[in-house]
Every structure is written in structure tokens, then in C-alpha cells.
Chain A
Amino acid sequence: MLRYILKRLLMVVPVMGVVTVVVFVLSRVGPGDPVTIMLGEFATAEQIARTRTALGLDLPLPAQYFAWLAQTLQGNLGLSLFTRKPVLELIAQSAAPTVLLTLCAMVYAVLVAVPLGVLAAARAGSLVDRAVMAGAVLGFSTPVFVLGYILAYVFGLRLGLLPVQGFPGLEAGPVAVLRALTLPALAIGATFVALIARVTRASMLEVLNEDYIRTARAKGLRRPVVLLVHALKNAAVPVVTMIGIGFGILLSGVVVTESVFAIPGIGRLTVDAIFRRDFPVIQGVVLVMSAVYVLLNLLVDLSYMLFDPRIRY
């Protein structure tokens, strides 16, 4: 298995190589120039030229790329053009809210969706099943910001139970952090409740027709054991795959979700960097997110082994 993991990680190298080129080119081809943004419109041509040289922006693009690549390979993502802080440090600082929000949304989605999916499959065709499936359509088709505003209005403004926006910072303690994340996680998680519940139901329905489920019943096992042990474990692989995809969607959607809920995470960092054309930050964020995404996929593939002994790497 270690060999498999190493092989998978090695296969990542060319992918990440392509990612570096694409992100580098994309961040440079757009209009706008960080130096004019930095110095303002009254800066002299000489000031601008001096700053460009200082930042290395006067070199030809390939030279800039290789310089960046060389330092990146040493684990150094460079300094922000604006704050002059290390990019890695900026990312680390904004990561906490993003990671926590993503995890909360997903844990919530899984905890709600899997039981609903199992229940719907166990009572296929019943009123419960139809209600769950209708709810799934609703959950999937309601945009995050609509649901976010509804939740904020009801629980935040009317009932005053939970903070509506913002993030207090880790030093505020776990209770304050969880309270701040509750409404955003509920809003973001809704889509994934819908997706995961559907996949769970479909996968369970297939498994419940299998001979070994009939055997489990013929042995006199209790219904919850038949459903949650014999059926769900066999139905798990598509569900876990969906959860992995869900994480990917959440990570790529942080820009929108964090701006809806005013959460100072990776999304905010990215937006700010794009507005200021802060190349090293943009490049660093994309690179780190790609790496996280790749690792996530590897984790999902490895987790299949937990559910199916026939899968070995």
C-alpha cells in the first residue's frame, strides 16, 4: 500500500507542473498591473520602473516563471507584493476558517444525508421516501446565498440565536467559533445533504436486492443491523466518492461562500489578491489548493479499503 501511495504521489508531479504553468500564465495575461495599483495613479514613470525592478517584474516572463518555480521547489512561495509577508504565512492564517467551515458543512451534510438516504431506501416508494427525495431537489436547487439569507434572517435577526456573519478568530474559543460557523455550514451543507442522500438511497436500493441481504434476513438479524451493517457497508463506496467530490466543490466554491458570510478565509485572501494583482499570492493559493485536492482524492481512494476488503492497493 505504501508503494501505491508513493506511486500516486509521484504521478502528481507532472500534474502540478502543468498547474504551475497554467496559474502563472493566467495570473499574468489579464489586464492591470500590480505596481500601478500599489503606487497609485500619480506615481512617476521612474518610481514605477524602480519598483518593477525591485520586485523582479521587469524580467522576461519565462525568467520570472523559473525563478518562482525554483523558490517554490524549495518550499518558499515568495512574498506578497503588497504586504511583503510570506505567502505561505498568509495562506496558513486564512486557512483555519476555510478548513473549519468546509469540515463543519460536510460533517453536517453526512450526518443528515446518510440516515435520510438509508431511510428512503428502506422505505422505497413510501411517503417518507418521497418527502426525502422532494427535499433533496429543493436542497440542491436553492442557491447558497438565498438559503444563507433565509437562515440569517430567521435564526440571526428574528430569533437572535446565532451570529449572522463574520468569524471571531480561533482565539475566541471553540464555542464562539462553532456558533459563528453554524449558519454558514447549514447553508453550504444543504446542497451536499441533497447530493449525498440521493447517492446513498440509490446505492442502498441496489444493495438491498442482493442475495446476501436475503441471507441476513434469513438469519433473523434485526432490521437496523441488516440496513446499517450488511447493506450500508456495501453501499458505502459511491457515498464516499460523493463526499470526496463534495469537498472538491466546497473548496472551489470558497470565494462565493466566504463572501456571502463575510468569513476571512482563503476565499477572501484570493479575492483580495486578484483585485490587487498580487501574483505570488494568487499562484500560491492555487498551488496549495491543487495539492489539497489531489491529496483528498488519494484519501478517498484509500478509504475504499475500509469498506471493501476486496480492494487492496
Chain B
Amino acid sequence: MSGSPPPALEVADLAVDLRSGGRTIRAVDGMSLTLDAGETLAIVGESGCGKSVTALAILRLLPQRIATMRASRLRLGGEDLVGLSEEEMRRLRGNRISMVFQEPMTSLNPVLSVGRQIIETIRTHRGLDRAAATAEALDLLRLVRIPDGERRLGQYPFEMSGGMRQRVMIAMAVACRPAVLLADEPTTALDVTVQAQILDLLQDLQRRIGTAMVLITHDLGVVAQSARRVVVMYAGRKVEEAPVGRLFADPRHPYTLGLLASMPRLGSSAAHGPRGRLREMSGSVPVMDGRIEGCPFAARCAHALDLCRRSAPEPVEIAPDHRVACWRAQERLEMAHGRV
């Protein structure tokens, strides 16, 4: 071991099976991530491609009755999470690794005051007394730019707007200055103007606290603004991974091409409306029930070869830090007839 610190988060070969209604689907298949201390990594992909399940699996928050997970490596700041007991995991959650959820309207407890929900997080992990924890909660509200903190602490979630609630969620998530923050579509449910504020807040917090962040989104506009590296997910798998600039300049996976093509051009009027939703691409994500033989994207891909339908490609490194899981990754493919 030389001087370089371990990555904030390391995930290798994560696979998650979910049972529902008598069937089992492989929601996440062979996901690998490395998140360096303090950096932002974006995960993008259409709805249903396994982004949330990946984050929940890392925190071990999937319902045990329906979920089975496996990983060859799962490390938080060098500490192995695989063998930890539930109690040991609990001590890490909200403390060294925390999560911000997509739905601010339903993610806060409706019958407990906002202050109580922030304070209990602080007290659980940091053992402060009530007065100290309350003072700390006030600081946190200032940190997430909620004015009039004294009054806000006594309010209930139903007395706040969606944006305010998401700020409260973020305050709780950063209460213990975590090394890793998993932000699962933190702005998707919000108005466009509020989206920008929340994104800005997250980046600002990250700089101040030094937290590394996994920013899950289906919005490439968000990615361009905030992340250093991007992982593109499709049907539970990582199909492409690259530094942001490179991904936009030289995308190699046909799915990534499609995502970029469905994004409104900067400066166009649509940039002020909802940003390019990936579902504008034709076709939809296949259900991963283990019967698909080849590349999961082959059915929607204009460039698919016979090989693609027979056998799934593994990610290969085509340039430093640029990995693509496509048989034709070495070629520069073009958009064909609006299809990928």
C-alpha cells in the first residue's frame, strides 16, 4: 500500500436479484463503480434500468424478503462492507454513507417535526445531547440555505414546499459529514428553477464537506453540469463509463448515442423546459429475467450484429478511464434514421 488513499467507495460485480409475483428478475448485473474521495460520479440511464436498486443495495436497504445481492467487492473508504452485520451497517448509514431520495414529498415522516428528524440523526451517530444537537441542526439548516431555522425546526413536512423538504433531506444526509453521499434523482420531482438550486446546493456542500457523491439522474443536462465521470446504465448493467467531457465528445455505446441525441440542444427553448428525458428514445428497457442471451440493448440497436444477439459484450477499456460494453466499441457509430 503506497501513499494514495483508498477510494471513497468501491463496488465490483454487484448483482441484485428481486423476486416479485413468483418471478425473479436480475435488476442489477455485474455493476462496478469506483468513487474517489471528494469526486462526483454520475449514473445515468432510463427509468427502470437499476439505478435506485444499485444505490439501495450498496446501503443494504433492499427488503430482505425479495432481494438477494452479491458483490465481489464492496468497500467504503477501504473498509469491507460485505461481511458486516446489520448492526455494523446501521452504524455506517447516515453517518459515513448516506442517501438522498427522489421523492421529497413522501420521504420525510409526516408526523414528526422536521427538527426532530434532523436531530435524531445527529444524536444517533454523534452522541450529542439535545441542546448541542439542536444547535447543530440549526447550523445544518443554514448550510442547506433554509432561512428562519428556529421556526422551521418546529414545522412538519406538510408545512413545507417540495424544494424545502428536499433541503431538509439533504441536511439530514450530510448531518454527520459522510464520506459518500448517494443522491438518487434528487431533483427529478422538483420544479425546474428549484432543480437548479438544489443541484447548486449539492455541489456547494460537497466542496465544503469534502463528500464524494454518486449522482443518479436520467438527465444528461445535470450530468454535464455537475459530474466528473459518468456511468451509463442499461438493463441493470454498466454499458459505458467515461470522463464527462469524453462521453459527450466521443460516445461509443449506441445507447449513449441515443441518450445524447434525445437531449435538447443547449440554448434551444426546450432547455428551459424539462430536460431531455431518455424515454423519448424508441423502444423500452427489456425485463431481465435471465432469458436474454446476447447484449440487452441489441433489440433496440440499429447497429446490432448477429454476434450481439448471441453473446453479451463485457466492458473493455478503449481509452484511459473510458470503458464500453459493446462489440463495436472501436468504431465510431452514427445515429441512423433517428434510431440508434
Contact = CB atoms under 8 A, between A and B. Distances in A.
Contacts, number: 77
B91 A214 contact: no
A172 B99 CA distance: 61
B94 interface: yes
B124 A218 contact: no
B56 to A, nearest CB: 8
Q: Looking at B93, B101, B109, B169, which has the most chain A CB atoms within 10 Å of its CB?
A: B109
Given A125-B65, A215-B169, A233 B112 contact: yes
Interface in B61-109: 61, 65, 90-95, 98-99, 101, 103, 106-109
Given A210-B106, A225-B120, A310-B158, A220 B112 contact: no
Contact of B59 (A210, A218, A225, A233): A218
Interface in A186-234: 210-212, 214-223, 225, 229-230, 233-234
A307 interface: yes
A309 B111 CA distance: 6
A272 interface: no
A202 B61 CA distance: 22
A218 B99 contact: yes
A230 B110 CA distance: 9
A308 interface: yes
Contact of A234 (B65, B109, B156): B109
B121 interface: yes
B61 A212 contact: no
B109 A215 contact: yes
A212 B109 contact: yes
B106 A211 contact: yes
Contacts of B92: 220
Contacts of A125: 65
B275 interface: no
A215 to B, nearest CB: 5
A13 B186 CA distance: 54
Nearest to B157: A212
B125 interface: yes
A219 B65 contact: no
Nearest to A213: B109
Contact of B94 (A211, A212, A220): A220
Contacts of A310: 110-111, 156, 158
A238 to B, nearest CB: 14
Contacts of B156: 309-310
A214 B101 contact: yes
B172 interface: yes
Contact of A218 (B94, B111, B113, B120): B94
A218 B97 CA distance: 9
A222 B125 CA distance: 10
Interface residues of A, number: 23
A211 B169 CA distance: 12
Nearest to A310: B158
Contact of B98 (A219, A221, A307, A309): A219
A215 B111 contact: no
A45 B201 CA distance: 97
B108 A219 contact: no
Given A211-B103, A215-B169, A220 B109 contact: no
A136 B248 CA distance: 62
A233 B120 CA distance: 16
Nearest to B92: A220
A210 B94 CA distance: 18
29 contacts: A125-B65, A211-B106, A211-B107, A212-B109, A212-B110, A214-B61, A215-B101, A215-B109, A215-B172, A217-B61, A218-B61, A218-B93, A218-B94, A219-B93, A219-B94, A219-B98, A220-B92, A220-B94, A220-B95, A220-B125, A221-B124, A223-B90, A229-B112, A230-B109, A230-B112, A233-B112, A234-B110, A308-B111, A310-B111
Interface of B: 59, 61, 65, 90-95, 98-99, 101, 103, 106-113, 120-121, 124-125, 156, 158, 169, 172
Q: Which 6 A-B pairs have the closest CB atoms?
A: A220-B94, A219-B94, A220-B93, A211-B106, A212-B109, A309-B156
Given A212-B107, A220-B124, A225-B120, 8 more contacts: A210-B106, A215-B101, A219-B121, A220-B94, A221-B90, A223-B90, A230-B109, A309-B111
